[in-house]
Amino acid sequence: MEILVFEQNGSGAYKVSGLRQYGSPEDTFTVITIDQQLPKFVDEPEKYIDADIKADLVLDYLTHPDLSHYLIEVCNTKKIPVIASGKHSELAYTPFTCCGLGKHKRLGSYGEHFGFPEYKVELDGDLIKSITVVRGAPCGATWEAFADVIGTPVDEALTLLPRLVQYLCMANPSRFDPITGKSPVHFAGHVHHAALKKAISLAQER
């Protein structure tokens, strides 16, 4: 896939690093960074974003809402899918966090590697013998957290892994969801706990 990333002042750098490390080696990434000082309201977003966008997928890590809104509209016109985590738009995929993204055919190899986490677990009695990541967060937390869980009892792992993920999570902890009352960091811990619990259950059935 040709993946086009829009960011401001390095807002997507950590995730782009994770995408390159844990995504498909066949995917290519182009990063467009907007570093200018912006006014509170951007009346002419086309000055900052070229409407002639060509990509299989666009990742919106922009922090200014006017630029993000314009980018999503341009991509929708060109029928290019956009992932804009934590934002509100009917024209884009907008999970609460990057690790809350469901599976969608339009998202190709990105959607196969990144989104709601999936693990495969091998047990040695009641101990975690190995963990394989099938799908995870683009920030890399899904992959980076499980090393310290290997060799721990199942019950301990279910507490330890989500806590480690929360330490690594790059989401803004102050952005609470008014419906669930959870911050993105809490949400990240929750979805990783659920993924590990499911993987352990499947391993115990084998």
Mean of pLDDT values over 113-141: 96
115-119, 142-146, 178-182: the lowest-pLDDT one:
178-182
Residue position matching structure tokens 């002042």: 9
Query: Can you give the pLDDT at residue 1?
Result: 95
Helix (H) or strand (E) holding 132: strand 127-135
Query: Can you give the pLDDT at residue 35?
Result: 92
Q: Give tens-digit pLDDT for 43-101.
A: 999 999 999 999 999 999 999 999 999 999 999 999 999 999 999 999 999 999 999 99
Taking the alpha carbons of 175, 178, 181, 186 in that order, is the dihedral positive or negative?
Answer: negative
- State the pLDDT confidence band at 174, using cuts at 50, 70 and 90: low
Helix (H) or strand (E) holding 128: strand 127-135
Selecting from 1.10.3210, 2.40.50, 3.40.50, 1.10.3470, what CATH number does the domain 2-94 have? 3.40.50
DSSP 29-88: EEEEEE-S---SS-S-GGGTS-S----SEEEEE---HHHHHHHHHHHHHTT--EE-TT--
Can you read off the two tokens belonging to residue 58? 């666009």
Q: Give tens-digit pLDDT for 131-154.
A: 999 999 999 999 999 999 999 999
Residue 179 has pLDDT above 60, yes or no: no
Q: Nearest 5°: phi and psi at 175?
A: -90, 85
Selecting from 3.90.1010, 1.10.3470, 3.40.50, 2.40.30, what CATH number does the domain 118-205 have? 3.90.1010
Could you tell me the residue ranges of all domains in the chain? 2-94, 118-205
Q: Give tens-digit pLDDT for 4-47.
A: 999 999 999 999 999 999 999 999 999 999 999 999 999 999 99
